Amino acid sequence: MRTGIGLVAIIALAAAGVAQGQQVNFLVIGDWGRDGDGFQTKVATQMVAAARARPIDFVVSVGDNFYEEGVRTTHDRQFTTSFERVYADSALQVPWYVALGNHDYQGDPQAQVDYTQVSRRWHMPARYFSVVKRIDDSTTVELFIVDTTPFIEEYRTEPKYARVAHADTRPQLRWLDSALAASTAQWKIVFGHHPVYSASPKHGNTPELIRDFKPLFEKYHVQVYVAGHDHNLQDLHTPAVEYFISGGGSEGRIAGRAAETRFSATSAGFLAVRLDAATLHARFINPKGKTLYKTTVPRHALVAAHAGAS
């Protein structure tokens, strides 16, 4: 299977077994790879606790996997010091579906694609791809992992992002359009590094994704988009799509609030998801193991979703 920007891999796993019966359980973490420094090790410890309390089927990383400048080969020490050693517990020895972030583009993104052939749990067969998981006999979820960095205009003039200076985003948009159109999954969830909406004063909304991604999400009834980039935890609600930010894998920055904000926390942490045929149950958990917030997103009639703190 060829890999690279503008090329895609689709992993069909519709027949895969699901832990704990008629549901899929997974964690989402972003902006984490600091050799265990900052809050990375503490967040990892709480990911283990969550995965032991409710065994998980997989983890999704929403990018910025290795600070500050990504990795350059599959032998880069950071694969060991920031990934394998930090997330070593048996509870986390499940597939990791991985997106690229902007810091990953400061190294060689292809090294992360190629690491799929080295690690039994690291899955990045291309820079954007999809995965299908079965929930029950009549319900599946399709996970769409997208590569957002080439869409960001400001990177095209920054020398450290030379790898995206002339990137053509049209093939990825064509793929996402066709893949969403062809999907027969009852749940469609998209994961990428940059947020569509964010209330954080550090980065905030991403106009390029509002322009290019949001219309596709709404056209094809994507229920949820999960991003990182802003190093905090957020839930932003729109009538068509729920937008989560889980960028607290190793750091917590000011989160802010906006018109779409249902929850925001200046905190490190991660998102824990339980997905059944009818409802997505989401919890944000901080480095001390406290559930800061929980909410549900129904498969249908998203406007009826409700949220609450605990």
- Two structure tokens written together for 245: 């930010």
Number of domains in the chain: 1
pLDDT at 6: 42
Is 84 within a domain? yes
Residue in the structure block whose two tokens are 């020398």? 159
Is 53 within a domain? yes
Is 224 within a domain? yes
pLDDT at 19: 42
Is 202 within a domain? yes
Is 1 within a domain? no
Block means of pLDDT (10 residues each) for the chain, 310 residues, are 41 41 94 98 98 98 98 98 98 98 98 98 98 96 98 96 95 98 98 98 96 98 98 97 98 96 98 98 98 96 43
pTM: 0.92
Is 2 within a domain? no
Is 267 within a domain? yes
- Two structure tokens written together for 211: 């322009």
The catalytic position among 194, 203, 221, 306 is 203
Q: Which domain holds residue 254?
A: 9-308
What does the alpha-carbon distance between residue 19 and residue 68 come to, in Å, rounded to a whole number?
35
The region that residue 220 occupies, defined by phi over 0 for left and psi between -120 and 50 for alpha, beta otherwise, is alpha
pLDDT at 21: 62
User: 300: domain CATH number?
Assistant: 3.60.21.10
Beta bridge partners of 227: 245
Is 4 within a domain? no
Catalytic-residue membership of 203: yes
